[in-house]
Chain A
Amino acid sequence: MFVTRKVEFSASHICRNPELSDEENRRLFGMAANPHGHGHNYVLEVSVEGQPDPVTGMVLDLKELKEVLERTVVEPFDHRFLNYEVPPFDRVIPTAENVARDIWWRLEPQLNRQGRKLRLVRLYETPDLYVDYLGE
């Protein structure tokens, strides 16, 4: 059984590989390569798989999941410029793929316990583009 919780955060970023030319960056990332950055309202959905506890009837305490997401994702990411304020995005391009995987790495050790497993990190950069990270 999967349990999914959604949170939102707003942040700015630049997608640009310093080893490539301006022209190649523009082709790869379009306007996302603009030098002063731009922002998104990111929407994050996190899905955890597990079995309901026979006593509580819950796979996990949603209150606890909410706190984990707040502490691990919203607090460090919300209203930040990812490239300048949130490592490792000073050296890793903050594409939706890289941000989704970084969030997975932050969450996994906290959620994979008592038979539960993190299964999906879905990150919407806009309503027209989202990335699913499904683990290695």
Chain B
Amino acid sequence: MKVKDARGMALELKPHVDAAIRAHGAETYPNECCGAMIGRDGVVTDTLALPNMTDEGPRRRFKVTPNDYRAAEKRAGELGAELLGFYHSHPDHPARPSQYDLDHAWPFFSYVIVSVRDGVSGDMTSWRLREDRSAFDEEDLNKGRP
């Protein structure tokens, strides 16, 4: 069964969202930050910064607990919007997904990664899990934005 997502392979971050993700990544450097992205039709209008609850060392890992996940979904509902995905930072590493990211990915979510080097945010990319879970595909990020 092929399941297609209506919004296609593109994500747009409102400028304040883009800024909030970068600021969060810089703030938690050298640790990873994470948060939820809320919006509609492939446009992220709100973020929800979440605590990084990994027990494997926050410099290389992030984890959102089930309770925080539920809070994010609830928040999206309250805003009359949807949970579109999650963002996280890669301190001193490129904005490309790791094997660990792939192993833990959910379908249809957008995974935005911001690279933070020496405390300064750089490249930002967005990724979607391939349907057979074999890989991530990069989606257009902010292509439509003026």
Q: Verify that A and B bind, or say they do not.
A: no
